[in-house]
Amino acid sequence: MRILVTGGAGFIGSHLIDRLMNDGHEVICLDNFYTGKKHNLLKWLDHHNFEMIRHDITEPIRLEVDQVYHLACPASPVHYQYNPIKTVKTNVIGTLNMLGLAKRVKARFLLASTSEVYGDPEVHPQTEEYRGCVNPIGIRSCYDEGKRMAETLAFDYHRENNVEIRVARIFNTYGPRMLENDGRVVSNFVAQALQGIPLTVYGEGQQTRSFCYVSDLVDGLMRLMNGEHTGPINLGNPDEYTILELAQAVQNLINPDAQIKFEPLPADDPRRRRPDITKAKTLLNWEPTIPLQAGLKLMIEDFRQRVKNNN
């Protein structure tokens, strides 16, 4: 198949492209390199099945493909809040453009949505039926509401234009190739511990997240794309940790003497998050296989190389 991956130079996108290329597909990567790096795809640049296009999805583009994995959008709060209006444009105009492309060439379209559509959830763990508790005017809304609108667009293109859609609600994912200065919690803690500087825990660290290793997540995305179910379907690891527990896990693996520094909790920071993955288990026969300790070890190896090379 010929497969388009928007945001393919980013963290999840580049791991997805590795899988698709290894499976023998033709892959087109579309990216504006805002948070993505060409380096993530170095091994494919000269491959005859691979094409890289520098393009901003807020502009239309005409391509002929069979499937679209639509991942283009900064995922870290630091990056999506840097230019919130651009984040809205990417999620709304960008998704509209990519759905238009899918409609024109009758491609199947998978949207990388997010657990952020649940906001600061009153229902725990979060099921797909829960409609969320999102602040429409806060500093996270460019991303949360942007993704909610992207879901709306996907379903309207499906109902009005028969576009075959798949909607994944991705929960916190981590692994090699996250940017060291990405601002997300796992990459921050690992980079800080390796550099010998204090781990920055926001608030009292009692808020929770559930962390999924990237290869598990990519497997879930591909099962959703190639299965029969539209979704939305939660994809994430249901093992839930407080942020303080995560800091302690990183300390134990890298440096038990690493210090922890408490910093103010950002506005609208969700207090807890854990996916109910019953649907993914029953409809996609998917569940995560890599526990946090094992995934952290793999990520630390990658970060060790990069932090060393930077010094």
Q: How many Å apart are CA 249 and CA 245, to the nearest integer?
A: 6
> What are 253-256's contacts with CB under 8 Å, separation 24+?
253/193, 253/293, 253/296, 253/297, 253/300, 254/190, 254/193, 254/194, 254/300, 255/193, 255/196
Q: How many Å apart are CA 259 and CA 311, to the nearest integer?
A: 21
Minimal distance in Å, beta carbon 182 to ligand UDP? 8
Interaction partner, residue 12 (ligand NAD, ligand UDP, none; CB < 5-8 Å by kind):
ligand NAD
Torsion of CA 85, 161, 10, 237, to 10 degrees: 100
Count of CB atoms within 10 A of residue 105's CB? 15
Q: Does 31 bind ligand NAD (CB under 6 A)?
A: yes
Minimal distance in Å, beta carbon 263 to ligand UDP? 7
Interaction partner, residue 248 (ligand NAD, ligand UDP, none; CB < 5-8 Å by kind):
none
Minimal distance in Å, beta carbon 57 to ligand NAD? 4
The correct pick among 49, 58, 81, 242 for binding ligand NAD (CB under 6 A) is 58
Place of tokens 């997805």: 16
Out of 34, 143, 157, 213, the active site residue is 143
Q: Does 184 bind ligand UDP (CB under 6 A)?
A: yes
Interaction partner, residue 7 (ligand UDP, ligand NAD, none; CB < 5-8 Å by kind):
ligand NAD
Interaction partner, residue 175 (ligand NAD, ligand UDP, none; CB < 5-8 Å by kind):
none
The correct pick among 240, 269, 287, 302 for binding ligand UDP (CB under 6 A) is 269
Q: Does 33 bind ligand NAD (CB under 6 A)?
A: yes
Q: Does 233 bind ligand NAD (CB under 6 A)?
A: no
Binding mask 196-225 for ligand UDP (x = CB under 6 A): ----xxx----x-x----------------
State the amino acid at position 141 in one-letter form. Answer: S
Q: How many Å apart are CA 40 and CA 255, to the nearest integer?
A: 28
**Residues 88-147 interacting with ligand UDP (rule: CB under 6 A):** none
Local structure of 252: helix, strand or coil: helix
Torsion of CA 67, 73, 76, 82, to 10 degrees: 170
Count of CB atoms within 10 A of residue 308's CB? 9
Q: Does 72 bind ligand NAD (CB under 6 A)?
A: yes
143 in catalytic set:
yes
Dihedral sign computed on CA atoms, order 11, 117, 217, 303: positive
202: exposed, middle or buried (Cβ count in 10 Å: 0-12, 13-18, 19+): middle
Binding mask 3-22 for ligand NAD (x = CB under 6 A): ----x-xxxxx---------
Minimal distance in Å, beta carbon 196 to ligand UDP? 16
Count of CB atoms within 10 A of residue 266's CB? 14
Minimal distance in Å, beta carbon 127 to ligand UDP? 18
Active-site residue list: 143
- Which residues form the interface with ligand NAD (CB under 6 A)? 7, 9-13, 31-36, 56-58, 71-75, 90, 94, 112, 114, 170, 172-173
